[in-house]
């Protein structure tokens, strides 16, 4: 395991439940749900065209097409929608995003990733 320090203070989560940080050269969504911190890839698995930066409850929501992913597991919980009556042909692209272990160390977050 290689925990990488993220320059995100845990105090940030007093005002928000999610933030995107660059870790090992890639965007990672850091979130807090029910008092625990989570990290997952922040690029939507649907088409790879949007950065996930909003969390509702425990679901990260893609700003482009509204695909949803569980921040605790990375599993897709809702398919992307182009229009309410039309599902997108790319919905099978990725059902799960990579999640990473997170720990708090001296008020900062550390993410275990390559």
Reported as a single tens digit per residue, the pLDDT across 39-75 is 999 988 877 777 889 999 999 998 888 889 999 999 9
pLDDT tens figures, 63-106: 888 889 999 999 999 988 776 665 555 555 678 999 999 999 99
Helix, strand or coil, per DSSP, at residue 42: coil
Average confidence (pLDDT) over 6-28 = 92
d(CA 54, CA 61): 6
pLDDT at 51: 85
d(CA 79, CA 108): 33
And the tokens for 111?
């993410």
Has residue 21 got a pLDDT over 90? yes
As a whole number of angstroms, the longest Cα–Cα distance in the chain is 49
Helices (H), 1-114: none
Domains (range + CATH), the chain? 3-112 (2.102.10.10)
pLDDT at 87: 58
CA dist list (Å): 60 to 5, 40, 48, 85 = 22, 10, 14, 22
d(CA 112, CA 114): 7
């Amino acid at each position: 395991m290689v925990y990488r320090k993220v320059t995100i203070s845990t105090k940030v989560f007093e005002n928000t439940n999610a933030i995107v940080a660059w870790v090992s050269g890639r965007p990672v969504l850091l979130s807090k749900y029910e008092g625990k911190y989570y990290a997952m890839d922040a690029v939507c698995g649907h088409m790879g065209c949007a950065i996930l930066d909003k969390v509702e409850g425990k679901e990260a929501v893609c700003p482009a097409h509204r695909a949803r992913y569980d921040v605790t597991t990375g599993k897709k919980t809702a398919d992307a929608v182009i229009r309410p009556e039309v599902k997108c042909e790319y919905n099978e692209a990725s059902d799960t995003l990579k999640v990473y272990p997170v720990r708090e160390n001296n008020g900062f977050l550390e993410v275990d990733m390559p």
